[in-house]
Structure 1
Amino acid sequence: MTLPYYASAEQIMRDRSELARKGIARGRSVIALSYADGVLFVAENPSKALHKISELYDRLGFAAVGKYNEFESLRRSGIMHADMRGYSYDRRDVTGRALANAYAQTLGSIFTDQPKPFEVEICVAEVGRAGSDEAAQLYRITYDGSIVDEPQFVVMGGNTEPILTALRSSYRPGLSLEDAVGVAVRALQQPLGNDATPRNLGRGELEVAVLEQARPRRAFRRISGAALEALLPAGTVDGAEPDAPATGTGGTDPDGPASGSEAAPGQSSD
């Protein structure tokens, strides 16, 4: 008689955590940071059609890394949750904390109950009403349902250590939009792995959006084209990276590996 394979609960959870962390770290990074007028999102994303940054509700924004199909389903469910709550009660009752808690419960349940966890990490950002002195809120929710309130900035996906080091040395509260974009882009351009040469990311490789507190109702606004080019730090090349083919097609997967290695079909991560 063959004995069934046994693995302790601790080993199962450890294996799930390792799977999720590897999937999240395989791709390109996203930065969310507070600046003088709200919250700035900057993502390394060559795709024109598949977004890693989006609006959730009037004053709420969403950013994610990992499996595109998984975080896209979370984004859609978050929008539905926010719409239903705003319709049933009041639009002011839709808060970033409530939505972050809902995401944490969903991801925690999937991590515990399902055979495979979601390979995603998400950020929910919120700005106060126009004219108020409420500080912006940034919530990081990880693959296992853990939730952290970040006071200044969030870095997700890819090789986060050099990006975090760059942000800690250059970020300061109350940055203007132009300065905040410069800080975020320079952090994303940090060398990958053992490569000592900083990368050069033009507007063709970046997805940028803001939550502007001064806007009367819908705070979310995308920044692209000439408006983005005017905000990029000096020396940034427009378009694709010098040593890589242009990625102007709309079908580019935002979850493609940052290291250049090919992922299995349907398994790409960012």
Structure 2
Amino acid sequence: MSMPFYVAPEQQMKDRADYARKGIARGRSVVVLQYDDGILFVADNPSRALHKISEIYDRIAFAAVGKYNEFEQLRLAGVRYADVNGYMYDRSDVTARGLANAYAQSLGAIFTEQTKPYEVELVVAEVGDDASSDQIYRLTFDGSVADEHGFVAMGGAADAVATALKEGYRDGESLSEALKVAVHALQQQDAERVLEAEKLEVAVLDRNRDRRLFRRLAPSRIDELLARSADAPAAPEAPAED
């Protein structure tokens, strides 16, 4: 009679974590940065249909890397969470912190209880009335949560992207300056690759808008921002495409 196969719990957790990290590393990166008027999201993503960046609620947005079907399930769950809480209580009661806690519980349960962990990494961000009240939370596959400030890089080659962000990012940058820093950082994934507007998914949480602060930027708007000279006087920001 054969003995039952035994794997120590510590080894199981390590194997699951390695599996999830490898899956996440295969994907292209996403970066999230604060700029003077809000929070900028930039994804290396040529698809116009499969979004890595999405609106969750009035002042809250979501960015993800990893397996699309898994983070899309989490996005939909987040929208439901926000809608139910906003309806039952008040719209102001829906916060990025509450959503991050809900995601952390779900991801933690999946990681410990299911055979296969989710191969995802998330950012939940909420824009405040000023930069000091912005909230950016990064969640990993095991439900860990980090409160981030300034910028976040996740996905494939995240270390190289984060290093470039650290070198180029400055507090209080304009939208065009922050976008240039983000695109330069994303290009560190592959030195031979140039990221054009059509290969980028870009959105912002703009604190100067009313109520719904999330907006996507069209390729023409991305090109316009990237073409601006860093030392030229800043022109008034034209409305971006919803």
TM-score, normalization by structure 1: 0.82
Q: After the TM superposition, list the runs of 4 or more consecutive aligned residues in structure 1 that deviate by more than 2 angstroms.
A: 132-135
**Match of residue 137 from structure 1:** 135
CA-to-aligned-CA distance 1:189-233 (integer Å, 9 cap, x gap): 1153xxxx3421001110000000111100100001211110125
DSSP-derived class of the 2:116 partner? coil
DSSP-derived class of the 1:189 partner? helix
Higher share of residues assigned helix: 2
Percent sequence identity over matched residues? 59
**Match of residue 190 from structure 1:** 188
Deviation at 1:137, TM superposition (A): 1.1
C-alpha RMSD of the superposition: 1.4
Alpha carbons 2:41, 2:203 under 8 Å: kept: yes
Q: Map of 1:25-40 to 2, 5 A cutoff?
A: 25-40=25-40
Deviation at 1:134, TM superposition (A): 5.1
Alpha carbons 2:157, 2:189 under 8 Å: kept: no
Q: For residues 159 and 146 of structure 2, what CA distance do their matches in structure 1 show?
A: 18
Q: Does residue 1:169 correspond to 2:185, yes or no? A: no
**Match of residue 80 from structure 1:** 80
Alpha carbons 2:161, 2:189 under 8 Å: kept: no
Output the amino acid matched with 2:47: S
Q: Map of 1:142-157 to 2, 5 A cutoff?
A: 142-157=140-155
Alpha carbons 1:127, 1:134 under 8 Å: kept: no
Q: For residues 153 and 170 of structure 2, what CA distance do their matches in structure 1 show?
A: 15
Q: Map of 1:16-165 to 2, 5 A cutoff?
A: 16-129=16-129, 135-165=133-163
Alpha carbons 1:182, 1:233 under 8 Å: kept: no
Alpha-carbon distance change, 133 to 118 in structure 1, aligned in 2, over 3 angstroms: closer
Q: For residues 24 and 85 of structure 2, what CA distance do their matches in structure 1 show?
A: 30
Alpha-carbon distance change, 133 to 141 in structure 1, aligned in 2, over 3 angstroms: closer
Structure 1: any 5+ residue segments left out of the alignment? Answer: 235-270
Alpha carbons 1:29, 1:65 under 8 Å: kept: yes
Alpha carbons 2:53, 2:63 under 8 Å: kept: yes
Alpha carbons 1:86, 1:93 under 8 Å: kept: yes
- How many aligned residue pairs are there? 229
Deviation at 1:162, TM superposition (A): 1.4
**Match of residue 194 from structure 2:** 200
Structure 2: any 5+ residue segments left out of the alignment? Answer: 229-242
Alpha carbons 2:156, 2:189 under 8 Å: kept: no
Q: For residues 17 and 41 of structure 1, what CA distance do their matches in structure 2 show?
A: 26
Deviation at 1:92, TM superposition (A): 0.2
DSSP-derived class of the 1:43 partner? strand
Output the amino acid matched with 1:203: A
Alpha carbons 1:191, 1:198 under 8 Å: kept: no
DSSP-derived class of the 1:207 partner? strand
Alpha-carbon distance change, 58 to 188 in structure 1, aligned in 2, over 3 angstroms: same
Q: For residues 105 and 29 of structure 2, what CA distance do their matches in structure 1 show?
A: 24
Q: For residues 180 and 144 of structure 1, what CA distance do their matches in structure 2 show?
A: 30
Alpha-carbon distance change, 147 to 88 in structure 1, aligned in 2, over 3 angstroms: same
DSSP-derived class of the 2:208 partner? coil
Alpha-carbon distance change, 92 to 134 in structure 1, aligned in 2, over 3 angstroms: farther
Alpha-carbon distance change, 166 to 134 in structure 1, aligned in 2, over 3 angstroms: closer
Q: For residues 133 and 165 of structure 2, what CA distance do their matches in structure 1 show?
A: 20
Alpha carbons 2:46, 2:200 under 8 Å: kept: yes
**Match of residue 225 from structure 1:** 219
Q: Which has the higher contact order (CA 8 A, sep 6+)?
A: 1
Deviation at 1:135, TM superposition (A): 2.2
CA-to-aligned-CA distance 1:64-109 (integer Å, 9 cap, x gap): 0000000000000000000000000000000000000000000000
**Match of residue 232 from structure 2:** none
